[in-house]
Structure 1
Amino acid sequence: MASPRRRSVPLPLLLLVFPVSLFVVLLLHHRSSGPAAALLSGAGPSPDPDPRRFSFLIKVLAYDRPAPLRRCLRSLAAADYAGDRVALHVLVDHPPPNASLDASREILAEADAFRWPHGEKRVHYRAANAGLQAQWIEAWWPGSDDEFAFVVEDDLEVSPLYYRFLKRVVMTYYYDRKNYSPFVFGASLQRPRFVAGKHGNKIQLDSETRLFLYQMVGTWGQLLFPKPWKEFRLWYDEHKSKGIKPILEGMKTTGWYKKMGERIWTPWFIKFVHSRGYFNFYTNFLKERALSVSHRDAGVNYGKSVGPDSTLLDGKNLDFNIWELQPLNKLKWYDFCFSEVLPGRVVRKFSELGSVLNSVQLENNIVLISLYSIEQRIARNMICHLEKAGMQNYIFLVSNPQFQDDLAHRGHPVIDGTGLLQSIKMSNSMYSDDFVEEIMVKAHVVKKCLDLGYNVWVLNGNMISLGSKLIEPSDQSVDLFAAESVDLIFLRGSQSSKKTWNELVILRMGDGLMSSKSDFYSSLERKNFVGMLTKVLGSKGDVRVGKLDEIVPVELGPHTSNRSLSEGHCKVIFWSHGMASDSVQSQLENMGLWLTDADSSCSAVVCSQKQ
């Protein structure tokens, strides 16, 4: 990391900043109510962001290196600001007690004498040593939603083109509402080289990719957007006050935090970004070029001078149109593992279902998971188990619009059940409750899977698949398998399954649900899709249903233990719909199966390289 401190820093820390479909979601996901929410929203109605109010602040973090600071300030002053007024704030940390003051005196003299022709210049000299974490976190509190901060450590050098490029990014992706996402926290100018997730993919980008989004924060020239930074500051205060640590297992940065503690700040921001599902703009200029480079001077992070990490991109070596930016929906998104994320996959019409199913399937297998009537914290814990098992071919059936958007922006594919039924002229007013709607949505999604020739699993959010992916049953003589106790089915994508489903299930189930006098309708209280399916198939009598012998479900209860899970090679644990969520969470915690943290996000990052 390009730290402004001449202190002994372990080499792993240095690696942290090594260049480390339409998605327009206007509804911000869950935020805490109370004073923090009031601070984020302001005391009263605030005006919408206006490009005419755009304000750019440069925050230079300095400590004890006069010569690198001089080089940094000169490069900033030489940049093209197109006549804009830009403020420069030089933040100088104080030496620790009993340390020499000579370097500080020289830095202050350098900063005072430095001529800044582009606007206001301020020098802030601390009265006591703050450290790197406080220097970053206290560098800025946004004055408005139109104020942006560019944070620069003192051993950096920027390109003359850096400001014009960053301003263009802001105008395109912040002020242009059709290209805006509230889940973008800023833009990094460093060359991306570092993947923080353990066992993640290498950073490999094609030569046509100039701009992309990546969850990792950069510290070698990072532009911060005002709203996410305010949100982070309040989140940081709350977690600090409660003694919560930024531990995110599966990340290399967590190991550094356990070793370095509060001397570093990035693990805090990384944990915040993970909890919110936020992203950062990065550039890919090829030939190891970047708009901001670290000189990695001797005595900072290295025993001897290593030299610049990249080549500075300027007008002399510019061989492409740097000002041409693609629409947001054309850009690629990557998580901490540098696995591609596909945000915005929300199926609201039946006509949209096929393309999303095609993007979900792996080896012609799809897992349909219903989250109807499942509390969000329980659903999020289940998602953590899916990630731990490396399952990637799932799609969620969700009834809550806000939850749909939150899952979708994180890259999870979701189906809006109400919208899907309305698109095929089936109003939910035709049915008595959400469970009836859920049954019909499941029936039509399964039909589409079978029409496309895909095998499909259907399960609910009141269960957890333990330790492995769902495996296709070995019995090839049967196309339909069911486990009624756990409400789980598997269908092969065969012509036989397709014929049975279209001729029996879709027609007979719909007729049965519409008739309040039928036995079919009277059994709805069980809220069991497999039970309803059995009644439909039983009315014909010639459809053989196989048993899922490979799965031995265990019901969660007061006497359930880890030992009971290991007996009989259990594959899933489930609980009744009537079981209180607090009891579910408590028992899963006791068994080590609760994988979310205080932010209701996964407590670990699991990198599963794409097949």
Structure 2
Amino acid sequence: MVGPKRQLLPLLLFPLLSLFALSFFSYHHSSLNPNPNPNPPLHPQIPNSFTFVIKLLAFNRLDSLSRCLRSLAAADYLSDRVHLHLHIDHFALPDSSDADRQLHESRRILDVVDGFRWSFGEKVVHYRTQNAGLQAQWLEAWWPSSDHEFAFVVEDDVEVSPLYYKFLRNLILNYYYNASNSRPYIYGASLQRPRFVPGKHGNKLQLDNRTRLFLYQLVGTWGQLLFPKPWKEFRLWYDEHKAKGIKPILNGMVTTGWYKKMEEKIWTPWFIKFIHTRGYFNIYTNFLHERALSVSHRDAGVNYGKTVGPDSHILDESSLDLKFWDMQPLSDLKWYDFCFREIFPERVVVNLDELASILDSVQKHNSVIIVNLFGAKEMVIRNLLCHFETLNLLNYILIGPESELMFDLSRRGHPVIATNHFLESVGAHKLISMQHSQVQKIDEILVKIYVLEKCLKSGYSSWVVDGNMLPVSSDAFVDYDPSYGFYIGKTSELFFARRSSSARKVWDNDIITKFAVVVNSLLVKQQSINFVNVMAQILEQDKGVRVKYLDETSFALRIDNSKVNQSLGDGKQVAFWSNDMASNLVQHRLQELGAWIVDDDYSCKAVICHQS
């Protein structure tokens, strides 16, 4: 049974997920789990090829560097081999007026580094010949040598807890090497205390006292563990966008303001834009009382004009609680986006019981929007969902054919109905002869009918819309006339069923049998089948219901091959187009209307925060 708060993909879908994730989730086109072993061990182990590398980024802060090195050397490494790579940036050249002092400071730093004893593994020093800056220090510090090499990146003003490595090793074991408890869209773990919400007007960062681990999209820079595959993917994405002159602009984010001010001096806006595009997540800790496993002393440098002091308190053995080593299953952890809004990934419905649970969790004001994605192109779907986010329309569920796209949407938090498995679970295919060319159309109509039935039985009114209908107003799907039980669009696939006894009666009177009779009749006559036509014929058989046919021109703007000479507004709350209209032309027309809000990566151009 799938609960209302979190629905993980049922086991029967994992083979499909692994298949469809091949081309989407990583540069290597890997399966859903980092460990592709079809029979993962009950007690996963760290493999012999496991490599842990500390990447320490330093510049000209000798005291900070010394403190960081002391804390790293004081950690417990459990007899593991752990390597230390120091990346020391050079001062800017030429600066003859201050060259002697800067040379002296650089040599003092090199003397400390050369004299520092690291007994846990290799110590490698990379001393640059010219100033690279913070962005290059991060981006050029690491290229994983294998899928089993992990980097822990610290800047020189960071201090770590003696427990940090034991904690990270346990985390890697449980969330990377445990195939049943890992996801390719988790890119690492931050040990810093969570303090910042980058989405403008987002929720306050508040966690209950029981939460020790959670997932959050934001990258950390004060002690960040990086997983190899996502980092490689990011570096390739960065190279492509940088080479084409594409900037990491993500509207609605505080970090975009940082980038516009500091430009290429910082790297985080690039990574944040990448994470937004891919929908990836980071593991965070919450140890209460402002404690953390890594602490930034926020010494004067690129990010701070003057020293601010430590942001948290170091967590050590004396301040542990019983839950410190508790690595809960991913299914028990909470997930948050850039607005610190909780999302519920992997909600895939495959039977009626799961459908009831999902509907209860998404409904708003006893209303649900059923969105049909059959036949819609990915770019159009992504744009549609960006509008849903902008308008704060959360009371929807998506239906469509099982595909890589549908599973990607589900793991980003969009509730999805896996059509084929869902129909098999209710035995719907037994009703219709499937030896014909309109099988997919019948599948989509059947799913709509079953979802509508469950909505009505749960006490929810329902709108049914297609992917070729774009809301541009939060009032797009409102109840126009309460005296009617159903609305049907005259020129679109728009349909509405009110939560009422008369509407429920239509479904109670064996609507599936009525559906089969209507569809088989249309097939015999070799007529095309669509949802509103089928529903109109079914409703005509019941004299106790009132049906209103909606004239879309009163509230919607139809776009076609001609240049748009109207604007959205003046009562136009929806744009729609025919299913056979070319997707590139749809994009062009929506751009003319200012309603195309996805970028070339098919991700939303802005993060829109709506406080919970």
Equivalence for 2:53? 57
Equivalence for 1:481? 487
For structure 1, list consecutive stretches of 5 or more residues without a partner in the other structure: 1-20
Once the 2 structures are TM-superposed, how far is the Cα of residue 546 of structure 1 from its aligned partner? 2.3
Equivalence for 2:312? 310
Paired residue secondary structure (2:56): strand
Farther off after superposition, 420-429 or 480-489: 420-429
Once the 2 structures are TM-superposed, how far is the Cα of residue 299 of structure 1 from its aligned partner? 5.8
The Cα RMSD (Å) is 2.3
Please say if 1:498 is aligned against 2:504. Answer: yes
Please tell me the residue identity of whatever aligns with 2:498.
R
Equivalence for 1:400? 402
Say which of 439, 443, 449 aligns to 1:437: 443
Equivalence for 1:419? 421
The 2-side partners of 1:27 and 1:285 are apart by 38
Equivalence for 2:197? 195
Paired residue secondary structure (1:430): coil
Equivalence for 1:162? 164
Say which of 84, 87, 101 aligns to 2:80: 84
Equivalence for 2:99? none
Contact 1:137 1:233 in 2 (8 A): yes
Once the 2 structures are TM-superposed, how far is the Cα of residue 22 of structure 1 from its aligned partner? 2.5
Once the 2 structures are TM-superposed, how far is the Cα of residue 441 of structure 1 from its aligned partner? 0.8
Once the 2 structures are TM-superposed, how far is the Cα of residue 474 of structure 1 from its aligned partner? 4.3
Paired residue secondary structure (1:592): coil
CA deviations 1:251-279 (Å, max 9, x no partner) are: 11111111111111001100111111100
Contact 1:365 1:455 in 2 (8 A): yes
Once the 2 structures are TM-superposed, how far is the Cα of residue 305 of structure 1 from its aligned partner? 3.5
Please say if 1:451 is aligned against 2:457. Answer: yes
Say which of 348, 351, 358 aligns to 1:349: 351
Once the 2 structures are TM-superposed, how far is the Cα of residue 504 of structure 1 from its aligned partner? 6.3
Equivalence for 1:66? 62
Once the 2 structures are TM-superposed, how far is the Cα of residue 541 of structure 1 from its aligned partner? 4.2
Please tell me the residue identity of whatever aligns with 2:417.
I
The 2-side partners of 1:605 and 1:46 are apart by 33
Farther off after superposition, 216-225 or 464-473: 464-473
Once the 2 structures are TM-superposed, how far is the Cα of residue 73 of structure 1 from its aligned partner? 0.4
Paired residue secondary structure (2:428): coil
Equivalence for 1:22? 8
Change in 2 beyond 3 A, CA 1:395/1:469: farther
Once the 2 structures are TM-superposed, how far is the Cα of residue 301 of structure 1 from its aligned partner? 4.5
The 2-side partners of 1:348 and 1:317 are apart by 45
Equivalence for 1:554? 557
Change in 2 beyond 3 A, CA 1:87/1:28: farther
CA deviations 1:419-468 (Å, max 9, x no partner) are: 11111112388333211111111011100000111111110000101132
Change in 2 beyond 3 A, CA 1:47/1:539: closer
Equivalence for 1:522? 527
The 2-side partners of 1:222 and 1:570 are apart by 48
Percent of pairs identical after alignment? 52
The 2-side partners of 1:191 and 1:353 are apart by 37
Once the 2 structures are TM-superposed, how far is the Cα of residue 566 of structure 1 from its aligned partner? 3.0
Aligned residues: 580
Change in 2 beyond 3 A, CA 1:91/1:548: same
Question: TM-score normalised to the size of structure 1?
Answer: 0.90
Question: TM-score normalised to the size of structure 2?
Answer: 0.90
CA deviations 1:80-137 (Å, max 9, x no partner) are: 0011110000000111113422222111111111011111101100111111111100
Equivalence for 2:226? 224
Change in 2 beyond 3 A, CA 1:563/1:87: same
The 1-side partners of 2:74 and 2:230 are apart by 30
The 2-side partners of 1:46 and 1:126 are apart by 37
The 1-side partners of 2:389 and 2:549 are apart by 27
Change in 2 beyond 3 A, CA 1:29/1:594: farther
CA deviations 1:193-218 (Å, max 9, x no partner) are: 10011111011111110000000000
Say which of 112, 115, 118 aligns to 1:116: 118
Contact 1:585 1:594 in 2 (8 A): yes
Please say if 1:274 is aligned against 2:280. Answer: no
CA deviations 1:40-85 (Å, max 9, x no partner) are: 779xx99869633211000000000011000000000000001111
Equivalence for 1:592? 594
Contact 1:88 1:121 in 2 (8 A): yes
Please tell me the residue identity of whatever aligns with 2:453.
K
Change in 2 beyond 3 A, CA 1:198/1:564: closer
Contact 2:35 2:178 in 1 (8 A): no
Farther off after superposition, 317-326 or 161-170: 317-326
Please say if 1:360 is aligned against 2:362. Answer: yes
Change in 2 beyond 3 A, CA 1:28/1:417: closer
The 2-side partners of 1:444 and 1:279 are apart by 34
